[in-house]
Structure 1
């Protein structure tokens, strides 16, 4: 089970947090103190089922207003038991909303010391005889069955409450009882069963909370301690201690193999265990460096502790510890790590997410922002003390860059080669074409495979030329794609664009001016007609966004490779045929 989305009212900086979707790997970005961590704290409080504090109430709310946190879950368990040895599902019991998500709302009221009132938002049959049947005890179900003339005799002693609920719902269908979506407060025992099925959240807070001695680190090794404890006689403490230390050392050695890639100054890690026989075992990691200095990793600098975190997550991604279903909330993992290690850490997070876990990161690093898919990014902005969350439908890459204080030059070192484009739409457009070419077997690797990054320069301004000079100094290969902005066939391309092309090519860059007006003019007519149901007249130089809307470029996703080739078709002065878009992609991929 994982979190699909979260909503909140009156929680910390959020007067209203609209539905914010969270993927298996999500990155919450924004300036310091924008409210990123508050989303993780909301999830942590929600899943712990504990009361909130007065300080959690939004500063602009009245003292008697409620705090509401609502979380939707997907990938629901295939079975749950509300009665002994009888399997059922959330869907069968009408405990999901109209989208088949498990949607739980917790309301925290100041008059009740901010203890949570728990409700499920469910789509269920209307009417007291049919609604919330999972809450009803056996006597109540029997009474409803009698009133609806439901004969249960054929089931004999095998009749279960689940069967009774099923037969009552069948009666609701026969009677055409309408469905409605509304809150359902679960009976205490039922909620306890639902609550146990929810995922747990491990929260890795900022720097000072990432030590070896922290619970989130120690807990990952409890299975080793538990296994050895069960297999050892209680009186054999020395043997017990040795067994645990040997097993822990073996695991720590695995982490060290990753660690030494990043810092060759260390010769080894060794485990020193602390035993308290009436409590859980706690252990430390002692790092011996090349100067023979032995010291706890927790006593080393913040950079070393962050390197241990990188190694720890790589270890989790590639070992048996990556199975199961957990949520990892990680605050600002980029601290004290250079961009190369940040990318390596992000790749480890991706592996953990692929194994079934969920990773939610808060960050103001352009590396994490640039590594994530646009759909996995949430931009948190704060204005006059009120935070808001923006997702891909209502922000663009330029806004992210401005919010993080990022310039194109900050991203240059993140890629093996760079392609400058005028907007986020261009990035999505050309990445989609490359992906379709790869699927069609025209190319074997796309831009992501070759670590070629798109950078938005915002137009042919002086800043770009500075960036181009920086690229030359860094020996970085680059390309540029710009619109022609031609309004008709014989419309001359502005001299400033031709000068720009000449200057970039003199610095070794590849420069493409589109033959048509802009990317939207390469959308196949039949796709526009089929998807938008419009027959407006246009040509290669029409203002497509004005005619069909700003998102018409997204129809590239609906085009097949033949349609892409067709829309880029032209003949040169010798009469030789060309496919403009595919040739641009192939030429740019040759940068690496």
Structure 2
């Protein structure tokens, strides 16, 4: 029987009450988003450094020995994927190892006591910014038992020593009398959380307590219960280490099947808990009968025996699952290039699975997932290096997913948005993180990258091509591959990239265009800006930031704000129909196009998404009744799919024949490269 079927059978029987108990912890289960990580006392990070984490993809850059791998290792230890070793402490220092993570997107309620839900806010465990900061501290004397605390705006009593979060129920009852808390203010006298909240409210109201930002212990008594509850909501952390000596035992790096096991087991954690408790109860009952029978013949021996309470490890139960070839050789024994190809395929499959999920119920996993990959380009050919970065970025764009990666490749750095780059510099006493400034100034970051990796001066880049997003980059690659065959004046951009002659800069929205124009000026390279106009009609005025960008055009900066709404409006209907290759879609899409107006100003991705949604067999909700965020998600999926349409021959033929402004932009970039100027 399939595992899930067996679990369903178990929980539908007498274990259903156990399921209800175990699901109490899943009430309003939020999927935490990691906002930042700080560490000190860990290997080369003697003094504290704080590194902001992007909501989608974060790229960590630095010279050799900058501490990129150490950052990922510290996070892996924080999330429980590894144990701290004595050699992890900073050399010649007695300081403890401290790792803290700050989270947003918090669950609206959690269960700490047996029968009552509460919230992190009601337990005063949030920062003034309404975020959760969890701090774990290790000392040399307690390697395996770190202390856990929340840095929070928490009630501090005038009477020293009152710690409600770690107080037992009898103590809380006594304190409730001391602070004259009315019985009516305590909604459940059986639970500690009800007493805590009533006492806090009374003390803050009477000014016998005040809110201060302190470290709230979470590792003893009820505090431990809170800590355990918080840990169950934290994201999964999957670390894929680089192929290097000493990592042969790294299961995730050697075989991504292990990551799939972790994800699926987490999805069914509640049901597995029910199954575990059911088996334990039945085994205990059987062993109790054995002791009873033993007591009839050897009462002293029976009195000295008791069964243990083993906790099954489901990861170990499925530990034998792995990839093998036709000769039964496991993937972990194959070459690094083979393993990395499988890893690339794993990320592609993950992205595609997420994109195919039902947008109206996107609960693929019970918790969020953070995927950290060291040097993903290792052992891959240049074109596959680009593919694996693209696949990782696709994963990072999925709901409740975050991707962290490191790289030494200057070519790959150009593929990520500068705002997602974290450059680690300095020595072990004073490491610091350089990034795009809050006001958008990228000059300090680009200067560091250029000094360290030579991403501009040490290569042959002759032209920067600035577009709004990654889909635009992929679309222009496919378009110019086809167009270059029909028109010798246009170069294939993918080929120019491989030669290092052009560099795409996905700037993350047209509003950043003028800022990037300033940031790139010091590097004295040609720039071709291809920006969406977002026009709804031919008469629609340009946004002020686009007008400003046009004013910045000069002999090196060539600005093309598209006449049509966006890049997808240069596709042909034929190319889109060919991409979707479905009769029902074709009929619906054509109907929508005929209804909505002029092709040049339609929201093509949204129309494609609406057509797909409308003809889907499982559709119960009309498009107009979907939530805006669901419509946007479906539109983003369509935009990604439409990348394929740019390779259709009808698109290149249309551009070569009509020569619209997009053609002129491609011609300008091609001519600047061919001129040999840099």
- TM-score past 0.5 threshold: yes
Going from structure 1 to structure 2, the CA distance change for 1:84 and 1:367 (only over 3 Å counts) comes to: farther
RMSD between aligned alpha carbons?
4.5
The count of residues paired between Structure 1 and Structure 2 equals 417
Q: CA deviation at 1:127?
A: 0.8
The answer as to 2:50 corresponding to 1:19 is: yes
The answer as to 2:257 corresponding to 1:217 is: yes
Q: CA deviation at 1:161?
A: 3.4
- In the alignment, what sits opposite 1:418? 463
Question: How many Å separate the matches in 2 of 1:511 and 1:371?
Answer: 16
- In the alignment, what sits opposite 1:314? 348
Deviations 1:462-501 (A, max 9, x none): xxxxxxxx97997978999xxxxxxxxxxxxxxxx9xxx9
Segments of 5+ residues of structure 1 without an aligned counterpart are 231-277, 421-426, 436-444, 453-469, 481-496, 513-558, 571-577
Contact 2:549 2:559 in 1 (8 A): no
Q: How does 1:278-293 map to 2 (within 5 A)?
A: 279-280=317-318, 282-287=320-325
Deviations 1:404-426 (A, max 9, x none): 243457475xxxx9338xxxxxx
Residue 90 of structure 2: SS of its match in structure 1? coil
Residue 282 of structure 1: SS of its match in structure 2? coil
Question: How many Å separate the matches in 2 of 1:213 and 1:44?
Answer: 14
Deviations 1:16-72 (A, max 9, x none): 23221112321111222221001011111222287633322222x43x322222221
Question: How many Å separate the matches in 2 of 1:162 and 1:397?
Answer: 50
Going from structure 1 to structure 2, the CA distance change for 1:407 and 1:95 (only over 3 Å counts) comes to: same
- In the alignment, what sits opposite 2:65? 33
Residue 309 of structure 1: SS of its match in structure 2? helix
Going from structure 1 to structure 2, the CA distance change for 1:379 and 1:589 (only over 3 Å counts) comes to: farther
Question: How many Å separate the matches in 2 of 1:350 and 1:478?
Answer: 18
Question: How many Å separate the matches in 2 of 1:79 and 1:296?
Answer: 44
Question: How many Å separate the matches in 2 of 1:511 and 1:122?
Answer: 48
Q: CA deviation at 1:12?
A: 0.8
The answer as to 2:84 corresponding to 1:46 is: no
- In the alignment, what sits opposite 1:168? 199
Question: How many Å separate the matches in 2 of 1:472 and 1:205?
Answer: 27
Q: How does 1:6-155 map to 2 (within 5 A)?
A: 6-24=37-55, 25-48=57-80, 52-59=84-91, 61-62=92-93, 64-113=94-143, 115-127=145-157, 132-153=163-184
Which of 392, 417, 422 matches 1:349? 392
Going from structure 1 to structure 2, the CA distance change for 1:479 and 1:214 (only over 3 Å counts) comes to: closer
Residue 351 of structure 1: SS of its match in structure 2? helix
Question: How many Å separate the matches in 1 of 2:70 and 2:420?
Answer: 18
- In the alignment, what sits opposite 2:377? 334
Q: CA deviation at 1:99?
A: 1.7
Deviations 1:136-156 (A, max 9, x none): 222222222212222114868
Question: How many Å separate the matches in 1 of 2:212 and 2:498?
Answer: 64
Q: CA deviation at 1:378?
A: 0.9
Question: How many Å separate the matches in 1 of 2:339 and 2:477?
Answer: 28
- In the alignment, what sits opposite 2:423? 379
Deviations 1:349-402 (A, max 9, x none): 223223212221121122442222223211122447864332223832132132
Residue 50 of structure 2: SS of its match in structure 1? strand
Segments of 5+ residues of structure 2 without an aligned counterpart are 1-31, 273-315, 358-363, 479-494, 506-520, 530-540, 563-660, 667-678
Question: How many Å separate the matches in 2 of 1:411 and 1:362?
Answer: 23
Deviations 1:290-344 (A, max 9, x none): xxx9865444432222111100111112226964412222111111223332232
Question: How many Å separate the matches in 2 of 1:329 and 1:475?
Answer: 27
Question: How many Å separate the matches in 1 of 2:318 and 2:43?
Answer: 35
Q: Which moved more, 1:374-383 or 1:110-119?
A: 110-119
> What TM-score does the superposition give when structure 2 sets the normalisation length?
0.52
Q: CA deviation at 1:511?
A: 8.7
- In the alignment, what sits opposite 2:665? 591
> What TM-score does the superposition give when structure 1 sets the normalisation length?
0.59
Q: Which has the higher strand share?
A: 1
Question: How many Å separate the matches in 2 of 1:221 and 1:567?
Answer: 49
Contact 2:235 2:369 in 1 (8 A): yes
Q: How does 1:383-532 map to 2 (within 5 A)?
A: 383=427, 387-393=431-437, 395-407=444-456, 410=459, 412=461, 418-419=463-464, 450=476
Q: Which moved more, 1:305-314 or 1:213-222?
A: 213-222
Which of 234, 239, 255 matches 1:203? 239
Q: CA deviation at 1:197?
A: 2.8
Question: How many Å separate the matches in 1 of 2:124 and 2:264?
Answer: 40
